[in-house]
Structures are given as C-alpha cells and as structure tokens.
Structure 1
C-alpha cells in the first residue's frame, strides 16, 4: 500500500519553482538600466476592504486576474485551486469543500458553515457555493490565507476567497463573446455587453451558459452522470448621482443542475461484486474507468440568486481626515436547492435512498456600514495612518427535509448477505439470496392487504441565524518605515432551530394500534429487550431504519448562543514603496451549528471552531519592476476543528480536539530579459496534523469503534502544492498577429481522502501538465486558443469513503476528466 511520499521525493516541482525564484532574486539590478526593460503591472487587491497594492498588504495573498482566467479557459471555480498555493477548492451548486493551508470543513452537510469565507463584490456569503455563479467576467480572484476574522468575522478561520467582478465602464460601448469547448462534450457561451446610458450611469450585462455530456457513464441507468448545466445571468449598474457619491446595483441568477450519481465503487468483495453484477452485468470497480452503476436517478438542482446595493460617499476633509470614505452594502442571497438525491449504497441494488421531500432553501440578508480612510498623521503623531471600521448585521434561514428510505426489504436482505458474504458459508449465502424473492412476495401480500410495509425516515431541520458585529483595523506608521497593525472584532450570534426524525415501524409492528406500540416501548420488561435487539433506546421505536442507520424518532429544539472576540496585532516594515515585511498575530472564529440530517438526537450539535495564527512574510519587486516575489511562513492552531465524517449512511459534522498547520508560501512572477518570455510560480508547504484526536472514527473492518489520530495528517490536506507557468509571446508581423505559447505544471502531493486516514483512501501525488497555443489580433478583437489538458493523464479522486454497511468496500468521487482537449474563441467589439 502506498505511503505518504517522503519530503525529499515528494516535490520536484516545488524545488524547481523555488530555485527559479532564488535565481531571479540573485540577478543584479543592471537589468533595470535596460531601456527595453519590461515592468509588471501594479496589482491592486481589496481583500482587506480597502484598495492596496499587493506589496503593501500585510498578509499572504494570491491575486489572479480575469485575463489570465480567460487565457486558461476556466470552466469552474475548482480550476482556481491549481494556481494558488496551499488551496483546495471543490464545489457544486449545493455543496462545497474549500480549505486553505490544509484547514477547512467540507460542506457535505448543508447546515454547516465554511471555514474559508466567500466574499463576492464586497458581500459575505454564508455558503461557498455562491461562488459557482461567478466564473466569467471576473476582474480578479483573490485568496487570503490565515484567519480573517477581524474584518470578515465568523466563518473565515482558515482564509478567504475574494471575487471581484468587472464593474460597468463609462468610456464607451463594448461587447464580448466567448465560446469554450472541450473534448468531453462541454460547451460554454459567455456574452458580455457594457453600455453607458448617460453621464454617470453605466450598465454591464454578462452571462455564463454551459453544458456538458458528462464525465461518468451510469451503466445501469444508461445515462451520463456529472454532466453539469449552468445558466447564469448577471447585471451591474453603476450610478454617480452627485459628486462624491457612487452607487453600484448588482443582481444575478444562476440555474444549475446535473445528474448526480457521483460515487463509484472502486473496491468490492467477491460477494458484493457478484450481487452487483447480477443486477448490472456491465459493472466494474476499476478506479480508472469512467463508469459507475447506481439505480437511483439522482439529480442535483439549485437556483442561486441575489441582489446587492453598494453606496459609497467620499467624505474627504471631514473630521480633519484627509481621505475618508463611507460605504454601505445591503445584500440578499438565496440558494434554493430543488433536488439533491443520493443513492446511499452506491450500487444498482434497490436498497438505500436519500432524497429531498421538498425544496431546501437557504436565504441570507446582510447589512454593512463602514468608514475607511487615511491621514498623514494620527492626532499629529507619526508618518501615516489608515483604518477601516464598521458595523455588520447578518440574518439567515435554512430548511431541509429529507426522506431516508429503504426501497426494498428483500434487496436489503440480499445486500446485507453480500456485505458479509465473504464471511458466510456458501450454502447459507445461497439460502439468503433464494429467500429474497420469497420475502418480496410476502411484503407484496401485506401491502395488498392495506398494511404499510414502507421503511423510511423523514428527517427535518429548520434553522434561523442572527449575527451582529463591530469591527476595526488600522495601520499606524509610528516611524518613517515602521507601522503598527491592530484590529479587533466583537461579535454575537444566535442560532435556533428544530431537528426531527420519524420512521415507519416494522411491518408486523404496524399491525398494532399506535397506543399499544407506545406502551411496548415504555414497558419496564419489554423496553430493555427492544433496546438489546435494536442497539437503540426503546423510545426510538422499532424499525428497519433504526437497525440500519441508527435512526431514532425524536423532535428536538436546538439553540446555540455565541460571543466571539477576534483580534489582530502586528508590525510592518516598509523600506520602499515596492518592498515590505510583516509579522502578525490573529485569531478567527467559526460558529457551531446543527447537523442537517438529524437521524438521531445524538450528534445534533457541533461546537464552535477557533483558530490562532502567527505569520511572518515579505514582498518585493526586483530587477527594475520586472519581477515580484512574496513569501510567508505561518503556524496556525485550531481548537475544536470541525470535520465531516460519513457515518450511518450520511455525512455528519464532528469536532476534533485540536489541529495545527505549519508551513510557507512563495509566489513569484518574472518578465525575463528575453522579450515575450515570462515565468510565474507558486509554491506551498502545509504540514497539517491533529494535535489531539483520541476518539477519531476507526478504519472500517478494524474491529474498533475509534482510533487515536494524534500526530497524524488531516484529511484533504496535501503537504506540497505548486505551479510553474512558463509563457512566451511573439508578434507575427507579416500576419498582423500575436502568438502565445504557455504551459502549466501543477503539482499536489499525496493526501488522505477521508477522516480515518485509511491507507487505502490515500490519493497519490499528481503532476498535471497543460499546454496551450493562443493566436490573437494585437487589439484583441479576436482571440483563438487551443489546449491540451492533463496531458499526463493523472487520476484524481477528491473523496473516498467506505461503502455503507459493507466493511472493507470503498466508493470514491473522481474529479479529473482524463486527458482532453479544448478550443476557445473570444471576440471583442468596440
């Protein structure tokens, strides 16, 4: 079995990227005297609620501009993880898994909050999946690493994604049309129209309309799976009604859906394989095949929409502050999940199914009022002072109602026999298979007689969340080159809700009057017998569901009230406009919550997560501005780390005791002395481990219920990530064209894909190679690009879990599309 790769063997790409950065730094400033010297453009970021150059931000930040996103042909948000060190992004329209520096909570449980915040055009969204609607017409995509609690509050303990879309422009009418195609049947159309209406008023419309033939093929249902469709429209209106005032109105809607049998059995016992093949002769468990087999016609369908209004007022000179700005952001967002099905046994056996009973809405409203500004001194002292301070209000509602169902009891018997089949003598196993049709006949007769034989649990959660906060952060240049950084956020949050679960009884029990059923479960003699048989308290009822999934009938009011204090302290040294170094201490807070599938009254709640981080970093421009480099070293401790675990056929959020991540990031970009040649690199190392986790879920089949993972790696946390992107552009004067050739070398080291750190669930390290050629007019009136993606044909899974009730069998979610080719056309009209 493959182990985590040794440091010295794990990172040929990171070594190469770092070597390039060091080599560049070692070159002399003689290049600066070259009249042909090229200079990198100044990068402005707003991840700290004010416009700053990248070199002046005292934090580890990666900023990717929209032009580069178009160049590489970004189809989804997931692609962005490859170009930012120590970042993992995996999203669908109803769930997301985002981590920074190895720390993050998979949003497989829809009621949980993220550890990595998502901010889009200044609005904080409580669900990361809102980002799926913002992959086109983007100005920049920023990743801020480490706790961002001071400015952004709860649910940004690991970091922040800050997406800024392109604003309307008043300098003329312009339009763009992008057409993207890929070898697996993907087609995307992205129109954009920018229209100045009158002086001070401009409108910008953009859309993203995409479809795919599917990455997996379901051999039982004879249909494509993972075939996402997205129809997104966005409108921004900018208004300047008077001097010093500016309003920005934005509205968007995104209709997304796909066939959603995403799990594939990748390891199965002989008995389970035979059971599946009896129902689907085309079944295979080869991890490299693009086929799976499930009987439930699963779908995921969501509508993500929202509207926001941002008002800014230049108050320069007020209160003797030279530059003072007031900002108000009012926003509403909705994630309306129409369908979310799960074939919970991952096979064509008609056994376990989980589906929404009715649509699941998540709605949020937020209001932020803030002041930001800068002044030459602070009350006459120092050499510069800048600040951000404000008030924040957040209100959200969430509701989900699932039906957890055993579709056929006869199939359940056959499945259970196969799940333990390798330990059951062949004659007995054969008798079980032969008994299944007989059981089906008996159940049909009972149903015909008016007896309810259905076995299902209805699981509900309603949740209301309110949060209030006051925040502030400042930088004070107390000496010409030295600044003090300080900030704090005080927050209060309350979550209320009701969790419930109710199941049908066993068919024979259903014959009894309800009063008699209740008396049996409460009888002093009968109650212990029921508990012994079911493994549950007698009050949970008697049902097949309770035996299989540890379901218990209950109605449980739930409530959490929390207060948090998130401070930030640090110093910054700025010897020149293009160079800075910093050291910071910060804390972050992520609220506790409730599990969205409360089958039983235990594990209903999970506690708040807290992060404490120390970071030292530096940023500079070298060689006359043709190269920039930034580096940071960090250590982050998490208490009550929230993790996602697949238990009893559903995902639940649990608290690990403590975890720590230590490492570094290095980003660089270099315009080499050879005209047209550039080199970008990003390198990250994050050693994320449990400091204390004595009651971790045990490996299936180990004979234990728990294990001690203290000192072991966190799941979904590669130690090394890196990218190296050489690019060469050349004018083709005889044809009046510009040709560009580029390659992406993208590396991720091995990582565990489930919280139990099972060696069989280890994703090996991957090195992806992409190559592209771009032909364009010098004025970009049209651009054509062709590319080969994943030339190295890397096999990538993002999750591997145990097959439910079948110890030793595995199912996984594959994310790569194999080797494929793309062709894109962009046309600009002015």
Structure 2
C-alpha cells in the first residue's frame, strides 16, 4: 500500500490522462523535411506512416525526444521504461524482451519472434541484438500500445516501438559530449557533425564510445561486473536533386562487449534482497559476458507522382554474437563460496535479414485518403548452445559434462496492406485498415553429448517447416468534439507467426513447433489540447485479449523450459498523462497506467510455487501438470500500477548563463519476476526511482556542464529471477538479475 501511494502521489494516479511528455519530432520516418512544433503540444509523429500531430493520432502512445533520452544517458530500450507506463523490459542473460500491457515473448526461447517489435528508421528489427546502435543521436522514439498489425504488420500483436534517428541538417552544425560516471568509473563520449555537402547532398556522421565498469563486485576475479566496452557509428546521406525526389541512406555499425554478468545469488526464502557482490570464476567456455557485432543499413526514397507519394524502404541487418553465462556461486546464508562453476552455458548466434517495403500515399485534405503497400523480408538464423556441468557432489561422485546443440532457421514473409480514411465531415472520420501476411519457416535442431559419463539431458534432434497466413484488420472512428479535443474508438487484431523451439535440450519433432498467437483489442480514448497549448490531457481505456499465447516457462525440477502456446489471456486497463506548460521556463508532465491481466485458460501449465505449496500441482508428476490450468492467475512481469512524473525548470543566472533542472520520478507496483511466481524469491516489490539532471549552460546552448544522477535512492531492483536447484548446483538458490544501482556522472559538451 505504501508503494502504491508513492506512485499515485508521483503522478501515476493521473491515469485518466494519456499522452506524452514534451518531445520535438523533427524528421519523419521517410526522412521528409522536418515538421516543427508551433506550440508545446504539437509533436509530429509518423505512427500512421504520415506526418501527423500526435494529438490527432487515434492510438495510445508515448513519444520521447532524442534530447530527453540523451539528457539521462539513455543507451538502450530499457531506458524507455521510465517514460512509458505499461511498458516493461525484462533483463536476463539472454535477450532483453519488451512487454506492453503485460504481453511479450519470453527470452528463454531465443528463436521467438517478438510480440512487441522494434523498428529502426522504418526497418523491422525483431531481435534485441539486431539493433545495438539505435539509442544515440536520435530524433525521437515512438511507443505504440496495442496491436499495430495493419500498418506496421510484422509481429506487433502487443505493440510496436519506432526509433527515428537524426538526419542531415540544412546548415552546418556539430556537437561533442563527454561524460564520466563516478560509480561505474568510466567514460561515455559522443558527437556528431552534420550539414550540406552540396546543393543536393547532405550528410551526418555520429559516433559514440563507452567504456565503463559495472556495479556488482565479483569477489572471485576482483572485477566490477558488468564492464561495458562499446563503439557505435552511424553515417547518413540524404540526396534531394529535386522537389519531386529524395533518397536517404543510413549505415550504422556497433561493437559491444560486456565483461561479466548481472546475476547474484539469493536464498529461496525470505524475499528478494539482492546484494552487490557475487562470486564467479571463469568457466571452461570462457569469460562470462556478451560480445556482439552488428550492422544495419537502410535506404528510404520518396518519389512524387503528381499529388501522390511513392515510398520505398529497403533494409539489411546482420549480427554476430556470443553470450557466455555463469551463475553466481556465493552460497546464500553465510555458507561461503564454492570454487567450481556448477552450471554454465554459451549461445553463439548469427543472423542476417533483408527487407523491402513499397507504399503509396494519397494527398491529404481529400474526402477519401489512403495508404497502400507491399512488404517482403527473408532471414537466416543460427543458434548454437553449449551447456556444461561441473558438480562435485552429485550422489557422492564428481561429475563433469557438456552437451551442445545447434538450431538453424530460414524464414520468409510477404504481406499486402492498406488503410483508408473517409472524412465524412470536417469533424468525423472513419478509418479502416487491413493487412494479410504470409510466413514460411524451415528449421532443424540437433544436440550431442560432448563428454561426460551420462547425460543429464536427453540427446535428440528435430526438423520442421510451416506455412501460414494471418489477416490483421482494424476499424477506427474519430470525432473532433471541439477545437483541439478529439475522441476515438478502435477495434483491431494483431498476430505473430508460429515458430520452433531453438534451445531446449530434449526437443523432438513432437515438441519442436508452436502455433501463431493472435490478439484482439478494443480501445477508446480522448486527446485534448487546451488553453492555447498550455495543457495537454489524454485518456484511453483498453481491453486486449490474446489467444494461443506463446510461452516458454522454466521448470526447476528438470532445469529446462516448457515452450508452446497458452490458451488465452486478457489485459484491460487505463493509460494516461497530463502535461502542463505553466510558463516558458517551467513545465511538468505526469503519465500513468492501471493494468489488470490474467490468464483466461492455460491448460497443461508448469506448476506455480503456490500450487506446489498447497498440493494442487505436483511438478514431478506429468499427469498433474497435464491437468493443471492457470485460468484466473496473473501473468508475470506485469504491475497493476506504473507511472512517472517529469518536472523541468529554467533559471536565468545572468544575460549569458542559465540553469536547467530536470527531475524524473518513475515507479511501478509489485510484480512477479519469476516464471513460477514464487511469493518468496520471485516478487519484485513496488518502487519509485528518482533521476535528476542539473545543468549550467550559456543562453545559446553552445556549451553546457551537467551533473546527472540516476536511481538516486539506490533502489535495488531485479529484472528476472529463477530457481537454480540441486543437483544442478551444490546448494539450491535463487538467481537474481540485478538492475543498475545508483550512479552519478559529470557531463560536459559543446556545439558548433
């Protein structure tokens, strides 16, 4: 109750107002000329493939400007959580997974397509390591809640995140920023140069270098885990030989090494109390951490065909990555430290994707407006898994073992889509959208015993293929009840393709494939801009149901995952925010959400911890699991309440200097962060985190000096948790993925 009250007091109670904090969108997804905001409330977005004022878009969405994200050194998708209620990013040693309204694709099965898809400059990036470089030098990030199947299409059953990077400027400019983090004892350096090369060609080059230590002390190595070493670069060229044609090419490269992990041990009872130390020696597979190299290319062209515009979006992405996991070996309860690594694994990955979209836009201002297009992509993916055991006291005998597996997949999809808007009157619009997507996949899996006297996991193989089609329609009614006050109602469906189990040992043909999942959403909302833009107040209510929900749930009894389709689940709630621009030197915004999400029907589910405790489900009895049903139980990784408050004030110190102070309070109520929803080790208590930026700059922003503090109250939160049981480890324990603790940095920069 205390945390719930904190969140409400921080502004999450403004659930009755949905929208966003201030953002300045300067460049559309298709790289058309920037549309500037005339008032604080006029934020231009491209959520419907056109430049539109955010307040005119009938979607519950949040928008963060690149400047706002940069102010608090946002480096990845997890940073968006602070600004977008009802959005959660799960941290694990595998893939970081985005959840919207409680729905997402669990990270355990690496080959899952995501229910919330990321788009970078219009290019689909469905895997977290596919886009290592997008969160720097940005124009904006758009978070769209609910199914977006009609216009975005590719696997957006729960929502979509669209990242738009900064483009070339009409006049020469540049910037350089250097940050030193006192707690992580390292640097973060970034900069860009931009401007015209000729009358028809503009360019922008951006670069970022990060080298910082971590926030968890590894007592075995004397190292602060996880150390981050990262290089990012992006080159953008925009060619505009005439008013009827332009073409923009973006090429970005990322090299990211993470040395060490983020797991700490915790007792299985007594709740989550993560420490900031761990004990983990190097395993036979190598040094724990991740190493990723990625490339993303995009080409966006616009051709004027009379009053119509033909747009082409071409994308290519590639990554090569390796994840090596170990698990903290500090024995909970004062038992000291063991010197062996009881279990460890590695996941080398290789992926490439090509995509092409063509769409045509009709002119605006007509009685009937439309967007129509076609889309195609193909990809290949290879995942190796290397899993080892070093158990010294297994039934009184030492045991060393290693089992490897390989998964290969080829995928191809195409779709046709369209959206039409009938302007019945100047105030009333009816919008209909439809997309058909066809997907083909072919995959194979094989495992083998490398060494060991016997296998703790069955050795198996599988292969399969699928060919499926999905139809995603939507209908929206939109009415302007007053100048700058709009109401809307939407019905829509989304879908995510089926697939295969990629990294569960013991997989056979019978358990290899899973079906597509589908969502249906009902939503109604109001968006209002009042008092000449000084007040922005929005509200939305939604009811979203998933059928054949794809899940992958950890079973500690066998230290394996059950992957397949749950029957159905429903999420319903409210989303909202309020923004006040009280003066040119002061503004405050708050956004919040209430969510109620439960399984409607989930037969054959793995036992929850409470079911084991009350005897209603026996995890060692296949018949008991087959008869288990989680209908009425909540889903993990979802809070009832989420919200944030942002306040900014500016003070003129003199005719030459100014002081800017920006504070953010972001929080959420408690949620289960373990698959088995353990009330002991699997509950993250509610929290509020406070960030603060204090900046001194000249009046023209040519230079600045800032002190930036994140998580100032040092809240120790856990992104994910699971039970590592005996005999996999010598002492059964909970493994917690600890999120970053308090850190304070000094930043200096200049522009030219």
Same fold (TM over 0.5): yes
Spell out, residue by residue over 1:660-682, the C-alpha distance to the aligned partner (whole angstroms, 9 max, x if none): 11011112211115x52211111
* Separation (CA, whole Å) in 2 of partners of 1:570 and 1:218: 54
Which of the numbers 295, 304, 329 marks the counterpart of 2:313?
A: 329
Match of 1:716 in 2: 637
Aligned positions of 1:345-424 closer than 5 A: 348-356=339-347, 359-377=348-366, 384-407=367-390, 412-414=391-393, 416=394
Which of the numbers 466, 485, 497 marks the counterpart of 1:591?
A: 497
Shift of 1:362: 0.9
Match of 2:662 in 1: 742
- 1:341 is paired with a residue whose SS is strand
* Separation (CA, whole Å) in 1 of partners of 2:154 and 2:535: 36
Aligned positions of 1:251-650 closer than 5 A: 251-267=251-267, 287-296=274-283, 297-317=287-307, 324-337=308-321, 339-343=322-326, 348-356=339-347, 359-377=348-366, 384-407=367-390, 412-414=391-393, 416=394, 432=396, 436=397, 455-504=401-450, 507=453, 543=454, 545=455, 548-549=456-457, 551-552=458-459, 554-576=460-482, 578-602=484-508, 603-647=511-555, 648-649=558-559
* Separation (CA, whole Å) in 2 of partners of 1:185 and 1:634: 44
Which moved further from structure 2: 466-475 or 295-304?
Answer: 295-304
Shift of 1:785: 1.3
Contact 1:73/1:180 (CA < 8 Å) preserved in 2?
Answer: no
Question: Normalized per residue, which structure has more strand?
Answer: 2
Spell out, residue by residue over 1:130-161, the C-alpha distance to the aligned partner (whole angstroms, 9 max, x if none): 44411211000110000011112231111111
Return closer, same or farther for 1:91/1:268 CA change in 2, 3 Å cut-off. Answer: closer
Return closer, same or farther for 1:652/1:780 CA change in 2, 3 Å cut-off. Answer: farther
* Separation (CA, whole Å) in 2 of partners of 1:575 and 1:775: 44
Spell out, residue by residue over 1:349-397, the C-alpha distance to the aligned partner (whole angstroms, 9 max, x if none): 33333224xx4211110000001123444xxxxxx33221100001010
Match of 2:711 in 1: 790
Spell out, residue by residue over 1:392-439, the C-alpha distance to the aligned partner (whole angstroms, 9 max, x if none): 0010100012222234xxxx241x45xxxxxxxxxxxxxx3xxx4xx6
Match of 1:96 in 2: 96
Return closer, same or farther for 1:375/1:591 CA change in 2, 3 Å cut-off. Answer: same
- 1:133 is paired with a residue whose SS is coil
Shift of 1:76: 3.2
Which of the numbers 593, 608, 616 marks the counterpart of 1:684?
A: 593
Which moved further from structure 2: 246-255 or 222-231?
Answer: 222-231
Spell out, residue by residue over 1:447-503, the C-alpha distance to the aligned partner (whole angstroms, 9 max, x if none): xxxxxxx73222011000000100011221112311111011011101101111122
Contact 2:175/2:751 (CA < 8 Å) preserved in 1?
Answer: yes
* Separation (CA, whole Å) in 2 of partners of 1:616 and 1:567: 17
Count of residue correspondences? 701
* Separation (CA, whole Å) in 1 of partners of 2:18 and 2:44: 23
Contact 1:354/1:402 (CA < 8 Å) preserved in 2?
Answer: yes
Contact 2:568/2:599 (CA < 8 Å) preserved in 1?
Answer: yes
Which of the numbers 542, 555, 570 marks the counterpart of 1:660?
A: 570
- 1:349 is paired with a residue whose SS is coil
- 2:424 is paired with a residue whose SS is strand
Any stretches of 5+ residues in structure 2 without a counterpart?
20-37, 331-338, 620-624
User: Is structure 2 residue 4 aligned with structure 1 residue 17?
Assistant: no
* Separation (CA, whole Å) in 1 of partners of 2:480 and 2:269: 63
Contact 1:109/1:653 (CA < 8 Å) preserved in 2?
Answer: yes
* Separation (CA, whole Å) in 2 of partners of 1:594 and 1:345: 30
Aligned positions of 1:11-410 closer than 5 A: 11-14=5-8, 17=11, 39-90=39-90, 95-170=95-170, 172-182=171-181, 183-267=183-267, 287-296=274-283, 297-317=287-307, 324-337=308-321, 339-343=322-326, 348-356=339-347, 359-377=348-366, 384-407=367-390
* Separation (CA, whole Å) in 2 of partners of 1:458 and 1:766: 40
Contact 1:46/1:52 (CA < 8 Å) preserved in 2?
Answer: yes
Which moved further from structure 2: 571-580 or 662-671?
Answer: 571-580
Shift of 1:826: 2.1
* Separation (CA, whole Å) in 2 of partners of 1:21 and 1:632: 9
Question: Normalized per residue, which structure has more helix?
Answer: 1
* Separation (CA, whole Å) in 2 of partners of 1:591 and 1:24: 30
Aligned positions of 1:748-759 closer than 5 A: 748-759=668-679
Return closer, same or farther for 1:81/1:59 CA change in 2, 3 Å cut-off. Answer: same
* Separation (CA, whole Å) in 2 of partners of 1:9 and 1:822: 28
- 2:8 is paired with a residue whose SS is helix
Return closer, same or farther for 1:375/1:22 CA change in 2, 3 Å cut-off. Answer: closer
Spell out, residue by residue over 1:759-781, the C-alpha distance to the aligned partner (whole angstroms, 9 max, x if none): 12000000112222111111110
Root-mean-square deviation (Å): 2.6
Contact 2:110/2:502 (CA < 8 Å) preserved in 1?
Answer: yes
* Separation (CA, whole Å) in 2 of partners of 1:632 and 1:15: 20
Contact 2:663/2:691 (CA < 8 Å) preserved in 1?
Answer: yes
Shift of 1:329: 0.9
Return closer, same or farther for 1:672/1:693 CA change in 2, 3 Å cut-off. Answer: same
Shift of 1:67: 1.7
- 1:55 is paired with a residue whose SS is helix
Which of the numbers 630, 635, 653 marks the counterpart of 1:732?
A: 653
Shift of 1:214: 1.2
Shift of 1:77: 2.8
* Separation (CA, whole Å) in 1 of partners of 2:218 and 2:665: 32
Return closer, same or farther for 1:570/1:690 CA change in 2, 3 Å cut-off. Answer: same
Return closer, same or farther for 1:731/1:305 CA change in 2, 3 Å cut-off. Answer: same
Return closer, same or farther for 1:11/1:269 CA change in 2, 3 Å cut-off. Answer: closer
Shift of 1:308: 1.3
Return closer, same or farther for 1:39/1:392 CA change in 2, 3 Å cut-off. Answer: closer
- 1:733 is paired with a residue whose SS is coil
* Separation (CA, whole Å) in 2 of partners of 1:269 and 1:686: 28
- 1:727 is paired with a residue whose SS is strand
- 2:140 is paired with a residue whose SS is strand
- 2:214 is paired with a residue whose SS is coil
User: Is structure 2 residue 699 aligned with structure 1 residue 775?
Assistant: no
Return closer, same or farther for 1:106/1:185 CA change in 2, 3 Å cut-off. Answer: farther
* Separation (CA, whole Å) in 2 of partners of 1:134 and 1:577: 37
Please give the TM-score of this superposition, normalised by the length of structure 1: 0.80
Aligned positions of 1:688-703 closer than 5 A: 688-699=597-608, 702=613
* Separation (CA, whole Å) in 1 of partners of 2:345 and 2:60: 41
Shift of 1:728: 1.1
Shift of 1:20: 6.8
* Separation (CA, whole Å) in 2 of partners of 1:767 and 1:585: 34
* Separation (CA, whole Å) in 1 of partners of 2:93 and 2:388: 24
Any stretches of 5+ residues in structure 1 without a counterpart?
26-37, 271-284, 318-323, 378-383, 418-431, 441-453, 508-542
Please give the TM-score of this superposition, normalised by the length of structure 2: 0.88
* Separation (CA, whole Å) in 1 of partners of 2:62 and 2:667: 17
Match of 1:765 in 2: 686
Contact 2:16/2:576 (CA < 8 Å) preserved in 1?
Answer: no
Return closer, same or farther for 1:811/1:575 CA change in 2, 3 Å cut-off. Answer: same
